Amino acid sequence: MALLPILEYPHPNLRKVARRVEHFDDELRRLVDDMFETMYAAPGIGLAATQVDVHRKIAVVDVSEGKDQPLVLINAEILEASGVEEMEEGCLSIPGLHEKVARKERVRVRYQDLDGVEHELDTGGLLAVCIQHELDHLEGRLFIDHLSPLKRERALKKYEKLRKRERA
């Protein structure tokens, strides 16, 4: 396994739309293993392939306390969504920035596993929010895109200050 470099905002490849996975093979398994290793090391609770500059519809998620409930979502799509939940979100591609984002409270998602077998998952809370966040990445969207223009501008100014401090 290997740690993969995570793209950081404003890298233009974060805006690329991922394409469907057609081949479920050892190369895919290696990529997913590397994505989990990268996510856990970051540390994070979700990582989309777009964030590691691979533009295929793959996301890995683990919101468990013990980091022992890995979930692989390949070619995932949200079938139903309901309610509204506002939760503070962060992103491995925008390190250090956290903002409250309104998302659907519950989602039903269809996805494929590493063998290409189709599954459906009905979930809520943090897992639902995390899935929405990661699937947004695969469509070229970032969590800051869900903020009002004023909040987004303030958040990006705060992020730029954080980056300047890190470089100093």
Catalytic residue positions?
Answer: 134
Burial label, 48 (beta-carbon count in 10 A; 0-12, 13-18, 19+): buried
Map tokens 């793209």 to a residue. 7
Q: How do strand 46-48 and strand 85-89 relate by DSSP bridges?
A: unpaired
Distance CA(107)–CA(124), nearest Å, equals 6
What does the radius of gyration of the chain's CA atoms come to, in whole angstroms? 16
Length of the chain: 168
Question: Residue 56 pairs with which residues in a beta bridge?
Answer: 19
| Placement of tokens 């250090």 in the chain | 96
